[in-house]
Amino acid sequence: MLGACSDGDLDADPTETAPSVTDPPAPVATSERPPTPLTTTDEVPVGGGVVVADVLVVQPTAGRFHAFSAVCPHQGGPVRPPINGMMTCSWHNSRFRDGDGTLLSGPARTGLRRIPLRIDGKKILMP
pLDDT at 1 over 70: no
Is the model's pTM score more than 0.75?
no
Domain ranges of the chain: 46-126
Q: What is the mean pLDDT of the chain?
A: 86
Within 13 Å and on the Cβ side, how many CA atoms surround 64? 7
Quick one: what percent of the chain has pLDDT higher than 70?
Answer: 76
CA distance 114 to 29: 27
Mean per-residue pLDDT for 57-86?
97
Q: How far apart are CA 120 and CA 18, in angstroms?
A: 56
- Residue 5 pLDDT class (50, 70, 90 cuts): low
pLDDT at residue 25 is higher than 70: no
- pLDDT digit string, tens, across residues 106-123: 999 999 999 999 999 999
Sorted by sequence, the CB contacts under 8 Å of residue 85 that are 6+ apart come out as 47, 60, 97, 98, 99
Residue 32: pLDDT band with limits 50, 70, 90: confident
Topology at the third CATH level for domain 46-126: Rieske Iron-sulfur Protein (2.102.10)
The stretch 6-31 carries a mean pLDDT of 56
